[in-house]
Every structure is written in C-alpha cells, then in structure tokens.
Amino acid sequence: MAYPYPAVSEPIVEICGVDFAYGQRLVLKHISMTVAGGTTVGVIGPNGAGKTTLVNLLLGLLTPTRGTVRICGMPPNAAVRRGDVVGSLPQTPRMPKGFPISVRQLVRLGLIGKLGLLGKETAADLKHVDWLLKKVGIEELADVPIGSLSGGELQRVYIARALAAQPHVLFLDEPTTGIDRAGQDQFIQFLGDLKQSLALTVILVSHDLRTVAAVCDRLACLNVTLHYHDVPGNMPRELAREMFGVDLPELRMEKSTR
Amino acid sequence: MMVQAAAILGHFSASSVALRAALASASVGVAGAVLSVFVVLRRWAYLGDGIAHAGFGGIGTAVLLSIAFPALNNGPAIYLIATVFSLATALAVASISRKRAVSGDAAIGIFVAATLAWGFIAFAIHAHLGRGGPGGWEDYLLGSVNGMSSAAAALAAAMSAGIVLTVVALRRQIVLYCFDPVLAQVTGVPVGFVHYLLILLVALVIIVGMRLAGNLLVPALLVLPGAAGLRVSRSMRVVMAVAIIASVAATLAGMAVARHWEFIAPGPAIVGVLFLEFLAAHFAGGRAKSQQD
C-alpha cells in the first residue's frame, strides 16, 4: 500500500531563517533546513536545544518570531488543518485511564481532520485503519479500552493513529523516551518497515543517538542553532563529542549492525 | 352536568400542565445527560456552576433594570435578561480559558465570585429602595413546576433536540477534543470552534434547565448523569445510554416528587434522585471491575 505522493527529492518541509523566542529568551536561531520527500531526518541535540519547540513550529502550535516554515508549500496551520498532510506522535502520549474509547476508535479518530466537520469515513479509510492496526501489531487489542494498554502498546496505537489519514510526513518527538532497550530495538525495526512500505518522509526528534543513527538517512544537530545537516557519515567527530560526549564510530557501528 | 364537565376539564388541564412539565424535564434531562459525559471527561464540572451563577447575576441585573423600566418586572423579561447574562459569561469564560492567560478553573472561579457578588448587590439595592424581593425570583434559584407554558415546554424540547443533533453530528471532533485538545488540534480539528460550541451548548442546557431545576441545582444535571455512566462502562455508547436513562428518570421522578409534596422544590428533588443513581452506579461499577480483575 504505497502512497501516491510524494516524488522522491521534492521538498516536503522547508524551514527558512527561523528564529523563535519565548518572551526575551531566544530558543531557536537562524534555522534553515529543507527535507526532501522520502527521507528520514533525525534531529538530535541535548536537552534544552529547542527540539520540541521545532516540532511545535512544524505542527503550527507555535509561530516563528522570524522566518517561515512551509510543509508541502503550505504554512503549518493550513497543512495540519488539511488532515492528510502531517501525522505526528506527541512526546508523551496521553492515556486517560477511564476514557470510554477503544484502540480502534482512537486510531479512526486520526481520520477526522481529513474528513472535515461532517464527513464520514469511507470503506477504504476503515480498511486502511485495520491494515495499520495489523502493521503495528496491535490487531488483537483493537477493541480493548485505551486505558488498559502498556506504554509500548500505547505508542504503537498513537503511531497507527498518526498514519490513519495517510499523511505525507510524520513528525516523531522523542519516540523512544521511557522505553527499555528491547522496546527501542523493536521500534527501530518497526519504523524501518513502515518507512519502506509507506514511502514516508519522517522527522524524528530525539536525544537517543542509537535510534537516530539506526533509522535516519540524514542528521540535523540542533543546539539553538543548526550545527550540522547532512548524512550521518560526514558528521565531524568533534561535534558529536562536543554535543553528546560520544565518539562517532559508535554511531556507525550501530548503523552497520542493522 | 356542568359541574362534571368542569371537573373533567379541570383534570385535563391539570394533566396537560403535568405533561408539559414532564416533556420539558425529559428534554432537559436528555440534553444535560449527553453533555454531562463530555463535561466530566473534559473536567469542566465546575463550568456549569459558573454559568448558572451568572444567571443569578443576570436576575440581579433584571431586578435593577425593572426599577428603571417597570415593564421588565415579569417572568419572561427576567428570564431573558438572565439568559443574555449567562451566555455572555459563558463566552467570557470560554475566551479566557481558551487563551490560557488564566486556567479554565480559575476563570470559572473568578466569574462565580463576581456574578454572585453582583447578584447580591443588585438584590440589596432593590430591597434598600423599599421594593422588597422581586416577584418569583426564588423559582429561578430552586426551580418551579408551576406556570410552565406550552411555549416554554416546546422551546425546551426544541433546544434539547438541537443540542443532541449537534453533538451527534460532531461527536468525533468533540470526543477527540475531550480526549486531548492538543492532539485534536494537530489532527486538524478546529479546536477553537469545538471549544466555544461545547461551552455554548452547556450554557443553553443551563438556561433551559434553570426554569425547571433552578439556577443553583441545574449544574448537577451536567455532571451526575455522565459521572454515573462513566462508572459503569468503558464503551461510549453504554456510557451515553446509562447517562440518558439516569437523567430522564431523575428529572421525571424529581418533578413528580415536587408536584406531590408541594413544599419540596423540583431542583433539590431531581438532584437527590440523581445522587442516589450515582451511588448505585458507583457501587455497581466497582463490583463489575473487581469481578473482571
């Protein structure tokens, strides 16, 4: 089930000279980056580097103090409102214990932006949801109330939800935080599969270098400004050591073990 | 023969008053129940209180206006002014809580205090000018079954139908908004619209229900049925069904109690029945869960 879009190498995300400040405090400065269709970009950086702020700018939850963000040529608000351009995974998926909603119902709610206020799901939409539930391995939990899931299961539900409307691009904010190493490996495997079968463009924001190195085609090092944006192999050793206190060969090794 | 006819007519008109009261109660009960599920899930239990107390400030405003314009000193005019005041307060609370300059909780607290204070000041001024209490205002605080006109009953039924239809049409957006407003926004839901719409629907139920259960007690209609439904099930359909049945049963039973024992106002009677239903749901839900475990 491949998506009809986008042509590889067409720019999906364009960030142009973006500054963002909370009051007087500048948290992002002169950020410019273009993400081509079909690529997976890992945005890495230490705590407080502005990673989540960047995701919020991409989702239209925040507005840049200066500069522009375009997603498929549209401002983020417009892209998000279309419902089938952007899919996203929040940093901490909410699980209100007593909320009367099943896994399948929550995943189907991922379609409502695309459907508009009074639209109804088509048979193809519902089939796609069932396919996603199978793909992320939570098919047998489809009718279970959301409140009874484990953290790892909940994350899969949220990923399926993000992909329900068949978006062009997927934003993942710290998807492996709070998941054990085995769970992280599963996630790496599973994201690799999804990318292949859906020809997705992915922006993965994380401080977990291992996951980023394992799934991303390109790296962007963020610490208020963008220090680097290229393929992982070209990243200068000193930068990696300076930002994360690790040696780059470690990253290459992780990549080659896949 | 004449006496018999008069007795039959009298009985007929009494029962049609009862019928109108029952229709209005059931309507408010259904609309309140449907919204109560979302009010509880969105943690807006206190919101109903805030808007209803604004009605008290509205009655105070009407009372003061009636000094200047004696034509306003009648039931429908007071009701209309209280309605406008409640809607304006609901919009103000919605706007302040939406901008997050003040949390929703604090916004409601601020408006409850301010509108209550304003209501009391207005009543005090009215009394000080030697005009006594305005006619029938306690009916607005505690509810009344008397003098419900067929127009008022029809209005209650129409508003209830409108509220239920709106919620059914926009159920997906409302559910996701109550689940997580930010998630709803990044899914493409127009969350500002849904936010204002829900608060206005809540205000409408309060305005219609105010005449029936009273200003001080109508917020209970917007909390207890949903709370009871959510105790017994994790399926939205079942939760809604339980909430609606509990609410309609309580409003009808409460009205019957108030008609039978005239010294009891309908508001407290309805809330009393709702509370008993909630207790039953609470223990039934607890037992069902421990059996599952």
* ipTM metric: 0.86
Instruction: Tell me the nearest-neighbour CA distance from A117 into chain B, angstroms.
Output: 7
pLDDT band at A4 (very low <50, low <70, confident <90, very high): very low
The predicted model gives A147-169 an average pLDDT of: 89
The two tokens of residue B131 are 């005009």
Give the whole-number percent of chain B exceeding pLDDT 90.
Answer: 34
The two tokens of residue A225 are 């400004």
Average pLDDT, chain A: 84
Q: What is the pLDDT of residue A251?
A: 53
Cβ within 8 Å, pair B230-A94 = no
Question: Is the four-CA dihedral A8, A13, A16, A19 of positive or negative sign?
Answer: negative
Q: In this structure, which amino acid lies at residue B43?
A: R
Task: Look at residue B232 and tell me whether its pLDDT is greater than 50.
Answer: yes
B221 phi/psi in degrees, rounded to 5: -65, -20
Question: Does residue B287 lie within any of the structural domains?
Answer: no
Return d(Cα A101, Cα B236) in angstroms, integer.
Answer: 6
The two tokens of residue A160 are 């399926």
Please indicate whether residue B209 or residue B179 has the higher confidence score (pLDDT).
B179
CA distances from B25 to B221, B241, B251, B274 (A): 11, 17, 6, 13
What SS3 class is residue A204? strand
Which residue in A has a C-alpha nearest to residue B181's C-alpha? A94
Provide the number of CB pairs (under 8 Å) joining chain A to chain B. 70
Q: What is the pLDDT of residue A185?
A: 83
Question: What is the number of structural domains in chain B?
Answer: 1
Q: In this structure, which amino acid lies at residue B223?
A: V
Residue B196's domain comprises 21-216
Question: Does residue B265 lie within any of the structural domains?
Answer: no
Average pLDDT, chain B: 83
Question: Does residue B117 lie within any of the structural domains?
Answer: yes
* Tens digits of residue pLDDT in B271-280: 999 999 999 9
Which residue in B has a C-alpha nearest to residue A87's C-alpha? B187
The predicted model gives A156-172 an average pLDDT of: 91
**A11-22 sheet: strands from edge to edge:** A25-36, A11-22, A66-71
Q: What is the pLDDT of residue B195?
A: 92
pLDDT band at B5 (very low <50, low <70, confident <90, very high): low
Cβ within 8 Å, pair B187-A110 = yes
* Tens digits of residue pLDDT in A89-130: 888 888 888 899 999 999 999 999 988 888 888 999 999 999
Class of domain A11-256: alpha beta
Report chain B residues whose CB lies below 8 A from the CB of A110.
Answer: 187
Question: Does residue B100 lie within any of the structural domains?
Answer: yes
Helices (H) and strands (E) in chain A, counts: 10, 9
DSSP label at residue A148: G
Question: Does residue B206 lie within any of the structural domains?
Answer: yes
CATH number assigned to the domain comprising residue B177: 1.10.3470.10
The predicted model gives A154-178 an average pLDDT of: 88
Cβ within 8 Å, pair B188-A82 = yes
Report chain B residues whose CB lies below 8 A from the CB of A58.
Answer: none
Task: Look at residue A132 and tell me whether its pLDDT is greater than 60.
Answer: yes
Q: Which residues contact A76 (CB under 8 A, 6 or more apart)?
A: A57, A58, A59, A60, A69, A86
Cβ within 8 Å, pair A96-B179 = yes
Question: Does residue B91 lie within any of the structural domains?
Answer: yes
pTM of the model: 0.86
Instruction: Tell me the nearest-neighbour CA distance from B125 into chain A, angstroms.
Output: 46
The two tokens of residue A196 are 């292949």
Question: Does residue B47 lie within any of the structural domains?
Answer: yes
Question: Does residue B165 lie within any of the structural domains?
Answer: yes
pLDDT band at B293 (very low <50, low <70, confident <90, very high): very low
The predicted model gives B38-42 an average pLDDT of: 93
CA distances from B205 to A60, A75, B52, B158 (A): 34, 38, 10, 11
Task: Look at residue A71 and tell me whether its pLDDT is greater than 80.
Answer: yes
The two tokens of residue B279 are 């207790």
The predicted model gives B129-147 an average pLDDT of: 65
The predicted model gives B17-21 an average pLDDT of: 78
Q: For the ranges A147-156, B65-74, B174-183, B237-246, which has the lowest average pLDDT?
A: B65-74
Return d(Cα A211, Cα A188) in angstroms, integer.
Answer: 6
